[in-house]
């Protein structure tokens, strides 16, 4: 794809001897939102960990902005402009809301995302800025995790199941904030179990099944039947 910002080319990923991903190929354009869907264990989180350097890969399997990043460390990849909102949030429990956000900014990439911009996006975090992050509700903690990722001013942001375990009204609030984030020209990958939500928010969708891409298409074009087949294999 000529204007791709991220290109994944035949990615195999392993946990020791166990192979979790088989020949995944995927590309994302600047400003594009990609949804990655798939059942439990399909390999979605493994794909996110591979892109962010938490799992090591052959260098030429992943390119970002034209550079091979497959062999780089997680901190080097963050510095290049990829941020992740990880499954389960993984906030620093002993630190305040504000300290968690500041840590996200430590990669020192220039851009519009500052503490004030994050507090404008999620005003409740400004009220709670001095509180331990883990004393907040689940939804507010998710806002901290999103804010922490934004503080690195990424070009590509990966959201790994941000609605997991949250009440429907909170999920709605968080998803309503996403266009404000993505509208700044960022590219995004949204990993989501809720198929309708995933299709609604994205330009294109990839479905994973047992570590392989089982469907790829424009979100407006793929039918419920095609998705069900790709998702469940029936």
Which residue lies nearer to ligand ATP by CB, 27 or 45?
Answer: 45
Does residue 232 interact with ligand ATP by CB under 6 A?
A: no
Angle at 89 between CA 84 and CA 94, to 5 degrees: 120
Can you list the positions of beta strands (E) in the chain?
Answer: 4-15, 18-29, 33-37, 62-64, 67-68, 82-85, 156-160, 187-191, 204-209, 212-218
The answer to whether 15 touches 37, Cβ cutoff 8 Å, is no
Place of tokens 């020209």: 185
Interface with ligand ATP, residue 17, by CB under 6 A: no
Q: Which residues contact 140 (CB under 8 A, 6 or more apart)?
A: 122, 124, 125, 128
Give every CB contact of residue 123 below 8 A, 6+ residues apart in sequence. Answer: none
Establish if 57 lies at the interface with ligand ATP (CB under 6 A): no
Q: Does 153 bind ligand ATP (CB under 6 A)?
A: no
Q: Which is nearer to ligand ATP, 175 or 206 (CB)?
A: 206
Instruction: Out of 5, 24, 35, 42, point to the residue binding ligand ATP (CB under 6 A).
Output: 42
- If the CB atoms of residues 41 and 93 are measured against ligand ATP, the closer one turns out to be 41
33 strand-pairing partners:
188
- Exactly one of 45, 140, 152, 209 binds ligand ATP (CB under 6 A); that residue is 45
Q: Is 233 in the site for ligand ATP (CB under 6 A)?
A: no
**CB of residue 84 vs ligand ATP: minimum separation in angstroms?**
13
Among 43-51, 88-96, 136-144, 214-222, which window interacts with ligand ATP (CB under 6 A)? 43-51
**163 contacts ligand ATP (rule: CB under 6 A):** no
Do the Cβ atoms of 158 and 188 come closer than 8 Å? yes
Chain residues that interact with ligand ATP, rule: CB under 6 A: 15, 18, 20, 38, 40-46
């Amino acid at each position: 794809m000529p204007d791709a910002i991220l290109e994944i080319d035949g990615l195999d990923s392993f946990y020791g001897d166990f192979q979790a991903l088989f020949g995944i190929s995927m590309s994302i354009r600047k400003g594009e939102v990609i949804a990655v869907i798939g059942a439990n264990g399909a390999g979605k989180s493994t794909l996110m960990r591979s892109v962010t350097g938490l799992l090591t890969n052959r260098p030429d399997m992943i390119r970002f902005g034209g550079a091979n990043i497959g062999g780089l460390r997680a901190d080097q990849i963050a510095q290049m402009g990829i941020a992740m909102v990880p499954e389960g949030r993984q906030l620093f429990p002993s630190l305040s809301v504000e300290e968690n956000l500041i840590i996200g900014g430590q990669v020192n990439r220039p851009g519009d995302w500052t503490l004030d911009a994050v507090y404008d996006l999620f005003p409740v975090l400004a009220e709670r800025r001095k509180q331990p992050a883990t004393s907040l509700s689940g939804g507010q903690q998710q806002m901290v995790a999103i804010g922490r990722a934004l503080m690195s001013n990424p070009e590509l942001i990966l959201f790994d199941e941000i609605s997991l375990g949250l009440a429907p009204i909170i999920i709605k609030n968080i998803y309503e904030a996403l266009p404000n984030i993505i509208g700044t020209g960022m590219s995004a990958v949204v990993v989501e179990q809720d198929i309708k939500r995933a299709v609604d928010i994205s330009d294109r969708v990839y479905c994973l099944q047992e570590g392989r891409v089982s469907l790829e298409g424009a979100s407006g074009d793929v039918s419920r039947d095609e998705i069900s087949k790709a998702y469940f294999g029936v």
